[in-house]
Structure 1
């Protein structure tokens, strides 16, 4: 494998390239990993390929503004991103407890990035260089671009462009957008005059120069009316289409947040070019003594085959951030990367993934998407698969065959998620047979998320009957192959609309299929999603219907515990939940019961399993020393 230089992170690395000044400084909340699964690596490499001099400051000391000045003042601008995750999600759990680990930091150590990192880094840059343009991007900036609900403070916040005092915001996938901005700045166009680039947001005092826009409820309206918050989401979602989307404006005080229409999707050639840039595919060597960066281990031998997702799950930000339109790489480019992986140090013959947000959404959904557009008032897979949807996994499977036939490749796994409803819609078991035979590593993870019809409808997920049919087919296929491979369903507790009765329905379902989840994801209201809109407003914005939302710690704990009712630690809270719901029939010794009524059993559950003291001197009960077995 050819040796490539990393993007400079200090003066010495600049000197090695013969640079005395940067065009752009990229500040990121992640450790610097030069791999195309990390946004900072892609953006800096893309700018580098266009001739711009770029440096990276990763996880600076936010208490010391000078920590971002290691390479001097950049001539064209400062680019700021919180990292691959929203910084609040990275720093806190669903219970709002501080996380001790951060897989995007050296050694997995937590606390390396500040809360609301985008705002903090912008303040640092503005304090040092008042006249340098500041451009924010990444998922934190992208999903907080309008007035949004912040779960961790439990209140509304203004658009992040206003709180950060940055000059421009890049939303969505930013490669094409940032190059257009950079070229304008290079020509001497002031940042305050860059108003026509797709995929950007800016602040303006009036609307006289903006044509055919959609105005959503203002900061002032939303603060006093939760229905206005729901209406804002309802007006925003249809404008995410690249061909038909219009500018969106939102008034905040005496100014307006203006969102330009989405950037056009990347062509196959453009995406190939991005993923074939000279990434070293390593973490910066300064992290080696600290144990490297854990997030790299998960993706180092994985391949991104496409972007975008037409699944549109309510709780997922991928459709809003990457778009509904599938943008895929050519097979030639993917195979070239697979061959590169076989020559890398540490490669043992296993490619961990070939996929994207949803692995088997590898082709554009229909002829409408072929034209670079998507339906405004129709989802591709919900409430059922659209009649115009291409229901075929053939091209994806052909790609997997090509990858696994490369010399040096022992196995190709698919770990980025499979949509089982799409497989069932195809009505052809051959894809699943080949998947199970060659690309499953003992267990296949799928995401039914829930079983309650009411909750699934709000999640935009298929009915439980589809999951049950898939489960049966999966078991039949593995049996015919002579394999013992398991199905692992992902589940979400306390999603908006989920009542205690719905949680009990899910618990009974898990009992009946004899599945006992070790992990359950508590719903976390991340900014910008439909589910978060429902969580805050307690309204379904599409129907105006009032919905129940579990918001107290006790309500959430009950729903979570019900999904793990076999865990002895959950006995008391499960019993409390069942009694509250009037489901005493599930307490006792019957086959359908979740927990027992026996008072002695209850006391045992309270205490948890008995802990036996170890005997440090290795003695028998009579005090004599045991003989070692040979």
Structure 2
């Protein structure tokens, strides 16, 4: 169902509804877009569906508490969401430079929300409403910062966020179930300090015995601040217990009090997930904004069909936020949303994405996961797929087929990340073929990230031979259908465990395959990931072994430059990197060389005689992977006619 009415954003709009009180205030760090892709909007609509009067305060001026007091005091409490991105990630690049745009704000303008938005908004709400109003924080920012955590921007370990945000409760993960239960109890006048047993929540206590679940105590804030081994151990324990079936409560002492984190909530069952996405979202930006909010365009004609990810990438925060247990919407629910899209006047027949954290996951990774939870110390996919892995794309294939058949739909794209290693484990290759035939807009994006096995092990990714098998199969399918479609690989530099020599090996592979990336992602140490723990401590928390870490901006620049060796502006960095890696054999005239010497350089010399270069893969548009088309034997050794015509035309012009 498509709604026609936004939630009230001011006291005037509440009066227009003849509301002279309201129950909950939902504070958003993003602009108010009434669409299910935005977590705070989902929570607001869920509370409304439970029968509560809900008002929205989106990106309020945080310099004083006036915007909060202007809304009036809610009867039951305030829910605060830090936005679809951590506010520091939204504001700063990996080089810690201020970004030019905030896609979640009107006009893409920066400055519509503060750094560390959850903490700032919680303080303003407490100033406005006093200690008698319950404040609950949630969303990605709060979820990933629930424990003592390394903060890349401050370059130090910060306390659990509840010590800085004066809130009564923290909801972590996908918070619908916990939010409903908290709202129900608050509406029954249960004191917020007595709500200590809800799964998927965290709170502060003077007494560790307040944890009613079997507790696991992790090293204290003071310990992880002083001892990096203690930090790594704490991270491992936190990940071990982040399971809704076998997980325990986690207790972390901090400055005379205790952070108590209850075990995670179970994922929403399919029926409840369907009900959530059937709520009456307007699917538009609120009309109070005079400028468009760019973020809507990314999701306006996209559909999220799943949650959770058992991919296990160590640099990704999804494991710690959404969890490893995958759940998905029914085909009928997704079709209902697609039919809503087809009735939008702006719809041109193209569904831009049917995805989620990982597009091709629809169910738990194995049958035993639902009963016993996810395995400790074991990834479902890397470095080798688990023997119990249930790799089945049949339901996802059926979903895409039925979407393609809807009246008004011309094309259905899959643009979210896919796990190609999971695809290769499926004995039925129908999905792979249909993906190539119907669901690619000229480019398929995948994430091999690197080619060196040791680096991939630190990343939690499959080894590179898996990507090469996928690549060959992808090429064969395209050639069989006479399609010219590209593969766009995401690559990462400077991940913990990656040395200059490892980066050289990746550059050699890219050079050999005729690929020159336009963009390379530097590793970004975001809160709450295993890779961030490695970056800060130099320790792999999974086995407590030492890890090499490139920390200095200059070394990061050297690694990144190696992967973009063809850029003239990066030439000095590439030469320096090759010298430091003792690989100056790659500066020269041979086919294997990354760069040619220039006059005045010490490597400059006479070009040696070279044998004819072997046929190699050609660089496609934008540096993407493609096969070189076979040469026409009739034209071998001759100038093509089109080139002759071009030269003749040029001469006539002169």
Match of 2:305 in 1: 305
Deviation per residue, 1:390-431 (Å, 9 max, x gap) = 112111111100111000000000011111111112244332
SS of 1:62's partner is coil
Counterpart contact for 2:326–2:361, Cα < 8 Å? yes
Match of 2:216 in 1: 214
Q: Structure 1, unaligned stretches of length 5 or more?
A: 605-628
Match of 1:248 in 2: 250
Match of 2:634 in 1: none
Match of 1:559 in 2: 559
Match of 1:507 in 2: 507
> Could you tell me how far 1:600 is from its partner in structure 2?
5.3
Match of 2:181 in 1: 180
Q: Counterparts of 1:46-65 in structure 2 under 5 Å?
A: 46-65=46-65
CA distance in 2, matches of 1:494, 1:68: 43
Q: Structure 2, unaligned stretches of length 5 or more?
A: 605-652
Counterpart contact for 1:264–1:372, Cα < 8 Å? no
Match of 1:228 in 2: 230
CA distance in 1, matches of 2:419, 2:599: 44
Counterpart contact for 1:421–1:466, Cα < 8 Å? yes
- Give the TM-score normalised by structure 1: 0.94
Q: Counterparts of 1:468-617 in structure 2 under 5 Å?
A: 468-599=468-599
Match of 1:263 in 2: 265
SS of 1:527's partner is coil
Counterpart contact for 1:265–1:372, Cα < 8 Å? no
Match of 1:155 in 2: 156
2:188 is aligned with 1:192: no
Q: Report the RMSD for the aligned CA atoms in angstroms.
A: 1.6
Deviation per residue, 1:138-186 (Å, 9 max, x gap) = 1000000000000001000000011112110000001111110000001
Match of 1:611 in 2: none
> Could you tell me how far 1:601 is from its partner in structure 2?
8.1
Tell which deviates more after alignment, 201-210 or 333-342.
Answer: 201-210
Match of 2:145 in 1: 144
Counterpart contact for 1:585–1:593, Cα < 8 Å? yes
Deviation per residue, 1:195-216 (Å, 9 max, x gap) = 0100000001112343520000
Distance 1:601-1:108 versus aligned 2 partners, 3 A rule: farther
Distance 1:307-1:372 versus aligned 2 partners, 3 A rule: farther
Which one of the candidate residues 273, 279, 282 is aligned to 1:280? Answer: 282
Report the number of matched residues: 603
CA distance in 2, matches of 1:456, 1:396: 28
CA distance in 2, matches of 1:548, 1:4: 55
> Could you tell me how far 1:238 is from its partner in structure 2?
1.5
Match of 2:23 in 1: 23
- Give the TM-score normalised by structure 2: 0.90
> Could you tell me how far 1:133 is from its partner in structure 2?
1.0
Tell which deviates more after alignment, 396-405 or 65-74.
Answer: 65-74
Match of 1:455 in 2: 455
CA distance in 2, matches of 1:245, 1:543: 20
CA distance in 1, matches of 2:602, 2:596: 8
Deviation per residue, 1:558-598 (Å, 9 max, x gap) = 01111111111110011111111111101112111111222
Tell which deviates more after alignment, 384-393 or 150-159.
Answer: 384-393
> Could you tell me how far 1:352 is from its partner in structure 2?
0.6
SS of 1:286's partner is coil
Match of 1:621 in 2: none
Match of 1:315 in 2: 315
Deviation per residue, 1:93-148 (Å, 9 max, x gap) = 00000011011111111221111111111111111111211110010000000000
Counterpart contact for 1:22–1:71, Cα < 8 Å? no
Counterpart contact for 1:243–1:373, Cα < 8 Å? yes
Q: Counterparts of 1:399-414 in structure 2 under 5 Å?
A: 399-414=399-414
Match of 1:436 in 2: 436
SS of 1:367's partner is coil
